[in-house]
Amino acid sequence: MSETVLINEIFRSIQGESTFAGTPCTFIRLSGCDSACRWCDTRYASVENGTAMTLSEIERRADGFRTSLVEITGGEPLQQEPVYALMQQLCDKGHTVLLETGGFLPVDRVDPRVHKIIDLKAPSSGESGRICTSNIELAVSAAEPLKKSFEFKLLLASREDYDWAVDLLNRYRLNQHCTVLMGTVFNKLHPAELAAWILEDNLNVRLQLQLHKYIWPPDMRGV
Ligand code: SF4
């Protein structure tokens, strides 16, 4: 019997985050997540059961949107074992594949062609103690072409979060090795404040706003 994945939704939108922001992208949102981040904006994907779909059904649906960029997201997509084969098959078909993960599970078995966007949950999320630091070690020790396939994302809600983030970056010299995306939790910290702190520290990170929340209503699904 074919392997199935629990899918919450598949849709096409504008990529809102990462160095691919602004690009049309097909999103494959997997159901289920065992974490409880305070600022989670996809709780529905964590709690809803989703629809079981075979890998070929998922690929057929995704192909219908005709984008070369495909993102695997959730929920926490790495909780479902068949997602590894799904990512590999999408790469084999010539897609540029992004993985958006909460950063609590290791990414060492992900196909190296996949661009990994790894959240680093700040203290205000309530989950920063569970960060999988082996992902950071994997990225900083990776050979040069592979290193470019890692991006780390910090969403901050306060100055305390920012200070924690700077300390984490310094500890691993992470922003000297990989792209680090730093943004604000929507409506919790004004981007101008974060911009001022970054400039004051001359911090080598990339400020990013969650583009989709400015284009569409911030709680809108399927965008
Ligand atoms: S890991 Fe992602 S999906 Fe899971 S609770 Fe945290 S923000 Fe939500």
Q: DSSP of 108-143, one letter per residue?
A: TTS-TTSEEEEE---GGGT-GGG--HHHHHHHHHS-
- Residue 222 forms part of a structural domain: no
- Compute, in angstroms, the gap from residue 196 CA to the centroid of ligand 1: 28
CATH number of the domain within which 176 lies: 3.20.20.70
Structure tokens at 216: 């569409």
Q: How many domains does the chain have?
A: 1
Nearest to 99 by CA among 138, 70, 135, 58: 70
Convert the pLDDT of each residue in 67-107 to its tens digit.
999 999 999 999 999 999 999 999 999 999 999 999 999 99
- In this prediction, the residues of the chain whose per-residue pLDDT falls under 50 are none
Question: Is 47 within 8 Å of 72 (Cβ atoms)?
Answer: no
| Residue-level pLDDT at 96 | 98
Protein residue whose Cα sits closest to atom 7 of ligand 1: 40
In a domain, 220, yes or no: no
The rounded distance, in Å, linking the Cα atoms of 223 and 216 is 8
Whether 221 maps to a domain, the answer reads no
pTM: 0.95
Give Dmax over CA atoms of the chain in angstroms.
57
Indicate which residue's Cα is closest to atom 8 of ligand 1.
40
CA 1 to ligand 1 center in whole angstroms: 30
- Residue 1: the pLDDT is 56
**The pLDDT value given to residue 101:** 98
Using the Cα atoms of residue 53, residue 68, residue 25 and residue 125 in order, give the sign of their dihedral.
positive
The reply to whether ligand 1 has any atom less than 6 angstroms from the CB of 33 is yes
Which residues is 117 bridged to in the sheet? 100, 151
pLDDT at 18: 95
Range of 190's domain? 4-215
Q: What letter would DSSP give residue 213?
A: H
Residue with tokens 């004004």: 190
Binding-site annotation, residues for [4Fe-4S] cluster? 33, 37, 40
Q: Identify whether 162 is part of a domain.
A: yes
Residue ranges for the known binding site for S-adenosyl-L-methionine are: 39-41, 75
Residue 74 and residue 47: Cα distance in Å, rounded?
Answer: 11
Q: How far apart are CA 66 and CA 72, in angstroms?
A: 16
